[in-house]
Amino acid sequence: MIERGSPWKLPALRRGAAAWLLVACTPIIAHDEKPALQPLDVFDLQWVSDPQFSPDARSIAYVRMGFDIKTDKSRGVVWLTGADGRHARPLSSAAMSSSPRWSPDGTRLAYLGAGADGSTQLFVYWTESGVSAAISNFTESPSALAWSPDGRWIAYDRDQLDGSANGAGCCSMTLHLIRPDGSGDHTIAAMRDAAHDAPSPALWAPRGDRFVFSTEARDLDDPALALVDIDSGKVSALAVRSVPLGWSGDGSELAVVRVPASGRPNTLSLIDSAGHGRVLATNLPPSPFAGAWSPRGTKLVISGARVRVHAITAVDLELIDPAGGSPRVIARLPRGSQVESVAWRPVARTR
């Protein structure tokens, strides 16, 4: 049985590639003989969400989820474990935390946690000392953390209250950059309506000179991509009706899922920084999608649900070679599963 959010480990795709995958899944129903689930039993359930490999592939940060019987709401806490599943422990003593993101060198871990006043703040954990510290004092909640490849910046989203007459009761979403010590915080882009125009996490190009984000992350009816140049600060439109999956190893191309008009199949394409590109695969399963490039940027794994007569029949993980060839199914997850994220095990560094 797979419990809610439990990670699947798939066999290595080829020797020496360190090509293990972590797949975070939503719940399925087990058919073995057990006592019937009672209403209060939901408060005993726990599951894993948002697993993140450390750059040296030795540790995994994840969010251990459960339900709080006092508030009747779900609650998560960031935990660390060895890649072998041993020595699991909470990252800090915070009552709630989420969104763990490793720095590129693996010496720090950024995450969101509850501040002293209960507000959501940005924290950094130092792996050598085991110390965590808040690097923000926001009045609005941050989200969607993403380190730059050189470790100098953390991109994040933040809600902003809109005090204008026609925006009363609404808020806008802003995309920011901040340094890991809490300095240099500045706005990169602002959206009009957080309810319909929420940016997705920044996807940095390997050199750290630019990144893309989706300005319609919560609405796949009309997703739009924007490209940010770090040196100039220029934000330019890149593509419409496209969901980003990640940059190739050399940063020359971005994998995107094209989302056409309703009723037409999705396609997987590679585009450059000008929005021009080529189609890799057609007739893809419908959203939601999760995907990830291999550590060396030579292969791409995507997931999606197979639907027949408005019912999900299976969830596939497909391996795609950008050099050509048809997608190859490497795993078929049980009916009722939904992939939340896919993470390759990084290539271990030699010392």
CB distance 94 to 76 below 8 Å: no
Query: How far, in Å, are 16, 60, 342 from residue 102 at the CA level?
Result: 23, 10, 16
Q: Which of 247, 121, 97, 251 is nearest to 178 (CA)?
A: 121
Complete DSSP assignment for 47-100: EEEEEEE-TTSSEEEEEEEEEETTTTEEEEEEEEEETTS-S-EESSS-S-EEEE
Tell me the pLDDT tens digit for each residue of 97-150: 999 999 999 999 999 998 888 889 999 999 999 999 999 999 888 999 999 999
- Report how far residue 94's alpha carbon sits from residue 77's, in angstroms, rounded to the nearest whole number: 7
CB distance 155 to 201 below 8 Å: yes
| pLDDT at position 287 | 56
- Report how far residue 270's alpha carbon sits from residue 276's, in angstroms, rounded to the nearest whole number: 8
Query: How far, in Å, are 8, 195, 217, 238, 327 from residue 49 at the CA level?
Result: 12, 23, 19, 31, 27
| pLDDT at position 131 | 92
pTM, full prediction: 0.76
Tell me the pLDDT tens digit for each residue of 69-95: 777 677 789 999 999 989 999 988 778
| pLDDT at position 328 | 84
Q: Which of 27, 70, 32, 76 is nearest to 50 (CA)?
A: 76
- The separation between the first and the last C-alpha atoms of the chain, rounded to the nearest angstrom, is 39
CB distance 300 to 294 below 8 Å: yes
In the chain, which stretches have pLDDT less than 70?
1-33, 72, 160-172, 191-200, 216-223, 261-265, 285-289, 304-314, 335-338, 347-351
| pLDDT at position 40 | 73
Q: At 39, is the secondary structure helix, strand, or coil?
A: helix
| pLDDT at position 3 | 38
- Report how far residue 111's alpha carbon sits from residue 124's, in angstroms, rounded to the nearest whole number: 6
